[in-house]
Chains A and B, each alone.
Chain A
Amino acid sequence: MSATLGATPTIVLVGHGMVGQRFLEALAERGLTATHRVVVLCEEPRPAYDRVQLTSYFSGRTPEDLSLTDLEFIKDHGIELHVGDPAETIDREARRVTARSGLAVDYDVLVLATGSYPFVPPVPNKDAAGCFVYRTIEDLLAIEEYARNASTGAVVGGGLLGLEAAGALKGLGLNAHIVEFAPRLMPVQVDDGGGAALLRTIEEMGLTVHTGVGTQEIVTDDSGAVTGMKLSDGSELATELVVFSAGVRPRDQLARDCGLGVGERGGIAVDEQCRTVTDPRVFAIGECALAADGRVYGLVAPGYEQAETAAATIAADEASFTGADLSTKLKLLGVDVASFGDAHGTTEDCLDVVYSDSRAGLYKKLVIGRDGTLLGGILVGDADAYGTLRALTGSVPPVSPESLVLPAGAGSGAQLGPSALPDDAIICSCHNVSKGSIRGAVTEHRCTTVPEVKKCTKAGTGCGSCVKVLGQLVTAELEASGVEVDKGLCGCFAQTREELYEIVRALRLTSYRELLDRHGREGARGGDGCEVCKPAVASIIASLAPAIGASGYVLDGEQAALQDTNDHFLANLQKNGSYSVVPRIPGGEIAPEKLIVIGEIARDFGLYTKITGGQRIDMFGARVEQLPLIWARLVDAGFESGHAYGKSLRTVKSCVGSTWCRYGVQDSVRMAIDLELRYRGLRSPHKLKSAVSGCQRECAEAQSKDFGVIATANGWNLYVGGNGGATPRHADLLAQDLSDAELVRLIDRFLMFYIRTADRLERTSTWLERIPGGLEHVRDVVVHDSLGICDELEKLMRSHVAHYRDEWAETVTDPEKLARFVSFVNAPDTPDPVVSFVPERDQIKPDLPLLSIGMRPADDVLEGSAQR
């Protein structure tokens, strides 16, 4: 591209949406940001964000979470980003763009990425108060605000966005209606059969669908606010809020105004290099462009490809965009919907293979060419095979088409794994990543986890629909390339924790020694194990105790010797050898009488007290021989062990919820107490934390918990995999609007599945990121019971609940166990003199004089003693 002599050439980008941002990244990757001045005019009040995931705002993702723009990236590449300042005019003669603020920039290359605007049908009162569109974060904020005072909402349009919008309205607690002019839902993506399967599932969720009717007029009251809408069949639908989602139109006005050619039905006309057909210095990419194949693409993947093409062309590289397929996989209101290739069977002489079970909401159709080539298809209700099928499109599948649509397990149903795909099959269409590149990431770039492969190849970082297949490929490749990763738990066991769990469960082994001697590594058999596997196996045995016939009491028999020191003394060891005592305070709720008991005990034993970060009280500085005395009094007053020492349930924090709080919509305290009592004592791979908030304001911080619950108008939303600590992670929404019973059932399954499959000391957050298929897989297993193990998981939890006993109550009544709580075996009444304290702020703190002695050097070691 020729530049003005002497000056740095300038690229101006109008529109900082998804495609615009991708274009900037492509510029940077090609080094163009170093050789060019890059100016971006961004109309919205915030830089580019993930519009595809817009609806996840309602399940708790903040606008910041949705951001696609790394401000470091913008800064590092010297990009001049003007937020909230749209381009108003383009003077192509002078090669100058002028923004609303008056800012004028002269360009050498101009790139238009202005996206689309929502089409609003010209019905009377379409601009009344209560009418909205669904495109930007600002739209969502406005809908959310207005919905506070509404009980019913209607969406005009039953396409992809309409369904998302309707789901969002339902999530906001409204009775949601969908009005669709066509005779079925999602007319563009699915056929009649698919529409019927979708309709059934969506109606079952409590949404009301009106198909085959148009909107004729919006009805308003005196103040001009929406009260209803008149439909084409003469009926009237009462509603206080209307969201128009009747399609989008390219934003090409700016282009029209400066004389650039546009298509008959809109869209800035470009050639295969994404250059406008009118002016070689101007490009158009994304939803505002009318591509060389005569289409305007309303999906992000083709837009990304156009962004790459434009950047390549500017860099004088070869690239072209000649069209893209419209494959999509979506999760609409929890229902998988996918279509790919020639979904509607427009190819001459093609044949359909259809499997339909409307009772289960399943519909699968494959379009097959005369010669057996897979041409396309539609999947509703179960789109697991999408990644593989999409990549196989254009070739003859290695197994019969029927077996590809039949559910696994049903007769000849075949599960075609990604290993059947050729290397050039595109796995991630958002980023155009082939199976070969993914394999390369593993074999050449030494990636060993899905997150690493994502980072290396970008695969899976767009719409996310390929992540499942990605996980399968990475695992297969790791195994095939023989990268001998020793996945063993420790030097004693070659198995993973998950494998040991299965061994213990299947063989009903209740003895660590037996496990070590029969299943340990050769050299470790007959030995004493180690500090890694002993507590891990103890935890496995404890969490399976009722089912395998082991004692549920962690200090019984051999189990006692396996426990980590904290579990062994049922208290937390502190730096000077003293212990802390944490009684359970379920949900953080405590009556004054019990508070007084804690105060009295702490005073009588001279303990340091502190309110913990987990909504309860910790008493520090107890000597080992004081623990039984302290606990005898606590047990007497009705307290139980808080398991602060165990890899087990810690606290279920609560907010005051609907009982007191003006915003609360459910009784969050009661639910927190119920959950804490249900899961107390449950031994798991790592500690478990939870919280219940009474409304979206989230005062209990449930989204930072292993399982967090947030009240909705209709029940509870369940979030999983959250974490505070060193690597905080926001929890993911697992399921919405659950009743009490549904909530408990899902948590039962989730926890038991985690306990069964996690590694040792792996919090739910890391587990969720690690396991193949991630959240989707977990949802399939625990919500949809895809492995058929939910009955068993629930049964395990029921027997845990039934067999729970308080460890401390049991210990204080057992003289043999109590004998262990002494500082010295030969002087049970003498306290450890090393444990001493000094005063601080009216309480005590540990005094550690011995530390100043420092470490004992290796040579003065035998003084006064004989070596063995």
Chain B
Amino acid sequence: MTLAVETTDLKVQLQLADDWFTVCDLSMLVPGRGVAALLPDGRQVAVFRDRSDRLYAVDNRDPFTGAAVLSRGLTGTHEGRPFVASPLLKQRFDLADGHCLDDESVRVAVYEVRTR
């Protein structure tokens, strides 16, 4: 993110199978919180921005309850790993690799994100 463009014009993009998919303006993301985006194939992605403006994207569906709510969870840092805690039953997911910090066997999909 070294481009000297007005922040308000920056777009958040996700890497899908073969293309970059534009989600929204960067300014729609509040540091520390997420938003949900709908993909063309119907899947949902939760996109987050941290306090240093790093971006993360994981599948929006909470694997423990089935509800599409991860974008509404609280984020944080656990031993240096960025995470989101599900707003329903509070399991935490590593935002970088999708691993559930509270249950080894569970993982959510992660997406590459960039701003343009």
Instruction: List chain A positions with a Cβ less than 8 A from chain B.
Output: 491-492, 513, 523-524, 527-531, 534-535, 558, 560-562, 564-566, 568-569, 573, 575-577, 819, 823-827, 830, 832-835, 848-851, 853, 855-858, 861-868
Contacts and interface: CB of A to CB of B under 8 A. Distances in A.
B90 interface: yes
29 contacts: A523-B80, A524-B77, A527-B76, A527-B77, A528-B75, A529-B76, A530-B74, A531-B92, A534-B32, A560-B33, A561-B30, A565-B87, A568-B72, A575-B88, A577-B69, A824-B36, A824-B44, A825-B28, A834-B66, A835-B68, A850-B66, A853-B66, A855-B105, A861-B107, A861-B108, A862-B109, A866-B112, A868-B56, A868-B96
Contacts of B87: 564-566, 573
Contacts of A825: 23-24, 28, 35-37, 47
B33 A568 contact: yes
A528 B67 contact: no
A833 B37 CA distance: 13
Smallest CB-CB A-B distances: 7 pairs: A561-B32, A527-B77, A530-B76, A850-B66, A565-B87, A531-B85, A577-B67
Given A534-B74, A575-B65, A528 B30 contact: no
Give the secondary structure class of A's interface.
loop
Contact of A851 (B31, B33, B65, B74): B65
Contacts of A835: 67-68
Given A531-B90, A568-B72, A830-B38, A865 B107 contact: no
Nearest to A529: B76
Interface string B92-114: 10001111000011111111110
Contact of A858 (B24, B82, B99): B99
B7 interface: no
Contacts of B92: 531
Contacts of A527: 76-77, 80
Nearest to A827: B38
B67 A865 contact: no
Given A528-B50, A534-B74, A825-B23, A868 B67 contact: no
A560 B30 contact: yes
A824 B35 CA distance: 7
B64 A855 contact: yes
Given A568-B72, A573-B88, A825-B28, A833 B42 contact: yes
Contacts of A565: 69, 72-74, 87
Nearest to A566: B87
Interface in B21-80: 22-24, 28, 30-33, 35-38, 41-44, 47, 50-51, 56, 61, 63-69, 72-80
A566 B113 CA distance: 27
A865 B15 contact: yes
A833 B61 CA distance: 12
B24 A867 contact: no
Contacts of A857: 105, 107
Nearest to A573: B87
Nearest to A854: B63
Contact of B76 (A534, A576, A850): A534
**Most chain B C-beta atoms within 10 Å of own C-beta, residue among A561, A830, A853:** A561
B17 interface: yes
B61 to A, nearest CB: 7
Nearest to B67: A577
Given A527-B77, A826-B24, A834 B64 contact: no
Contacts of A864: 16-17, 41, 43, 109
B66 A824 contact: no
A524 B78 CA distance: 8
A867 B63 contact: no
B111 A866 contact: yes
Contact of A856 (B44, B68, B104, B106): B106
Contact of A861 (B31, B50, B51, B98): B98
B77 A529 contact: yes
Given A564-B87, A824-B37, A865-B16, 14 more contacts: A530-B77, A531-B92, A534-B74, A565-B72, A576-B67, A824-B44, A825-B23, A826-B38, A834-B66, A858-B107, A866-B15, A866-B112, A867-B112, A868-B110
A849 B67 CA distance: 10
A531 B76 contact: yes
Contacts of B47: 825
Contacts of B109: 856, 861-865
Contacts of A855: 63-64, 105-106
A565 B87 CA distance: 6
A535 to B, nearest CB: 7
Contacts of B76: 492, 527-531, 534
A60 to B, nearest CB: 37
A530 B85 CA distance: 9
A867 B35 contact: no
Contacts of B82: 528
